[in-house]
A and B are shown apart, each in its own frame.
Chain A
Amino acid sequence: MELPRLGAFSSSRLSFARSLIRKMARQRWQVTQTRFDLNADGYGEVIYRIQTPQARYHVVIFSRYLDDAQRSDRVIAEAWDLTFGLVEGDVEDDLMMSLSENVPLQEAGRQHPNLLVISRANRSVRNFSSFVEQLSQGRQPAESLLKTAGYLYRTTAVYGNGKFGIADFARLKDNPDFRQPFSAQMTAVYVLRQFSIDQVEHIARNKSPDAVPLSDDLKRYVGIGNSTGLGMAPFLINHPLLINQWVHMRETALSLAKQEAADEEAQQRLLDLMRRAIQSLQECDIENDDQRLKNEDVVSELSMAAVWLDQVSAEADLWLQLTDWAEAAFTLETQELINTLLIEIYPDHTDGLEDYMAAEESLDLVPDMPLIQLKQLIETYLDWALQVDLTSSDERYWFWYRSIEKEEPRLGIRGVDEGEEKELSIAIGPRVQRIHATLDAHLRQDPAALTIDFLMANQRDSDIVRRIQTMAGSAYGEIRANLWHREMKPMHLLRAKLSFLGAQRFDPKGDRWVRVTFFQGAPLIAELNAEPADLVDFDDWSFALAPQRPRR
């Protein structure tokens, strides 16, 4: 898939945040606060218990004072407003001691194998202090604060899969609660959202006897922010089979939706969702100029589509008419948003696909493949890589490397910045082009050669060969872009992954950082614990809208 299209994806009902909330409700998960040891300023330890039909887990949160000068979203930060972890099983005293010594250290700690996730978060200083101030004075905070930044805390990294000693994802493969990718991470973040609400209410109560709790509609409008940088980009290159699976499931859902004959009920549902998406985008106060303009285009184009949809009759091929029009006339972001909405209106097609979002990630060599067949695969499926002119300085502009500072991935300018000799093999296109030239020369000497004959003579190329052999059969795993190119936008990589996680309101900071929000508009834990009778209504929380009714 092309990079700009991946960079236009919106989160959908297949995104992990959405499927998690559905599952929690369907299976009647219960989340309860079991410890709340915070001082008047909100510093201390809090534990939430998660009871599923299968097992019990705990989210353990450490809230510590942080000097404003230390507050940084970058991975190289060493202190945060809070740190937290999702623990499998109970939290006995000795485990709690180990957690309190290590979780606040994050990467510098040696984490316990009962932890499934560790993470950290910083406050939105403006929102946090305003919320505390207003609530303590007996007033509800202005919802406009959450239109600018839809959260009280933003996470800066959410680690799973064995990082720093926590449990490997392999351990979860038979765990029905968390075998879906990133579901453990999403659970921890969802519970953190409740903590952020509980904490501001607690601090406000301690400030003044006149304090009031946050209104339910504002609670719902509180999400959890996330600040993501280049560190996320290598994931999309290093997990091609998983990315292929995610996009494949999304495209399958879309294809099934587009094949449906439209009826008046579905037409009205899509129209309602379009109007909600338009309003939601209009309410988001995005700082980044480019993204704000893109959102304005989406609002304008989606409004046109809504007018059209309101006036046409529900013909059988209505969805194809709509998507064909979008493809011909609308921006990529509008096209993908329409696709997201079409997926939304057919839950029966989509929701079963959420069980197929994982992939066995093994790139295996086919040593007996005739070398001429390998050449044919490259020229057929990776033709985009051969078309790059690597003699052009623009095509070779960037190189990717890891800094000694917490291994942060960075971009350097080739020929200018230090570190080129330690370049990461992130850019697949140039490697494909080079191997194509080498095997072409080999074939001239030995036209009947097998892949293994070639590799015995070129031993350092085994990884790119097996990647080509494996990925040639997949439609979406390889991102069709030269990641060295001067105009390449890393933001597209970040947005693609974040959309599958369930991120909303993308607000980039340049082309290498983005702030997003999770779970804004999602049902509250109290609503989950009440065991909702209407699961369809419970799940209908995409495109959060600001509260409208007056509050006291």
Chain B
Amino acid sequence: MKVSFNELQSLSWKAFIGLGFSDGQASDAADMLCWMESFGLDGVKTLKDALEQYSLEHPYSPPDILYKDTDVTVLDAHNASVLACSHLPLELAFTQARARGFSVLKIRHCRQRQLVMGYLARLANRGMNVTAFWRNSQTPLTEQVVGFRASSSVPSIRIYAVSELPDENKDNTGITVVMVNHVDLLPTMRSEYEYDLLARHDESDLLEVRSKTEREGIAVDASLWEQLQGLAKLTLVASTSSSRLGAGPAD
């Protein structure tokens, strides 16, 4: 089924509230999702995975700070989705980069990492150069680099498979974000090692996709939509004849 951005934003916001997110967390998460989908980057598909992470019995808990100084912060998100755990740590890294010119944020043990792009876009729009890197420990091992120029909310993305496997290849569900005030950090492939470029999205390609999705709407799996509606219903109050009066007298 096709839905509009406003519908996706509004329903996912309500669904996140239904899951126990605060208003701010829910609106950030919904914005991240819609941003991804607007550029054809499978935000909705990733949401499906994210929803499996949550249940009302296991509410989200904030990440622990493992290390923090004026330039570097390392967190443990306990396998939470970046939808829930990344906004404020990213704001912290933004603050550090503004103050010191450069900052590094590492979030260990987080899920649906590609969704982080939605929030990075917002920070880049505020005049920050941002690059994020993460690695998927699969076969072949892949790495993804996303770079935003300062004041642009459209990224350059590279996804590539590394064929010369490093010695250390433990499960890696972390993400590293680098922010710099004054230097462009767009990804450019220059490597001495062999790699296989799997995907390359530049700003102009992504803008074209956005214009198409604006025209045609977003394709959403009907069962996921129902799932979101079910979660959104948790925010609604049962109706009675007396509660109907809460909207004023019957006509």
Contacts and interface: CB of A to CB of B under 8 A. Distances in A.
B121 to A, nearest CB: 12
A139 interface: no
B173 to A, nearest CB: 21
Interface of B is mostly: helix
Contacts of B122: 364
Contact of B5 (A76, A168, A404, A460): A168
Contacts of B233: 404
A110 B214 contact: no
B247 A459 contact: no
B189 interface: no
Interface string A155-175: 000000111111111110000
A44 interface: no
Given A168-B5, A459-B25, A74 B251 contact: yes
A93 interface: no
A405 B239 contact: yes
A422 B236 contact: yes
Contacts of A368: 94-95, 98-99
Contacts of B88: 452, 455-456, 459, 462
Interface in B15-70: 22-25, 27-28, 62, 65
B136 interface: no
A418 B243 contact: yes
Give the residue among B243, B244, B247 with the most A Cβ atoms within 10 A: B247
B217 A165 contact: yes
Contacts of A411: 246-247
Bin chain B's interface residue count.
35 or more
B23 A425 contact: yes
B199 interface: no
B243 A417 contact: yes
Contacts of B217: 113, 165
Contact of A409 (B62, B91, B247): B247
A230 B98 contact: no
B247 A166 contact: no
A404 B27 CA distance: 21
A255 interface: no
A276 interface: no
Nearest to B68: A456
A455 B89 CA distance: 10
A73 B62 CA distance: 45
B249 A402 contact: no
Given A113-B215, A168-B6, A459-B22, 13 more contacts: A113-B4, A161-B6, A171-B214, A229-B248, A230-B248, A231-B247, A403-B237, A404-B239, A409-B247, A452-B91, A456-B65, A463-B23, A513-B249
Interface of B: 1-7, 22-25, 27-28, 62, 65, 87-89, 91-92, 94-95, 98-99, 122, 126, 214-217, 233, 235-240, 242-244, 246-251
Interface of A: 72-74, 76, 110, 113, 161-171, 227, 229-231, 364-365, 367-368, 401-405, 407-412, 417-419, 422, 425, 450, 452, 455-456, 459-464, 466, 509-513
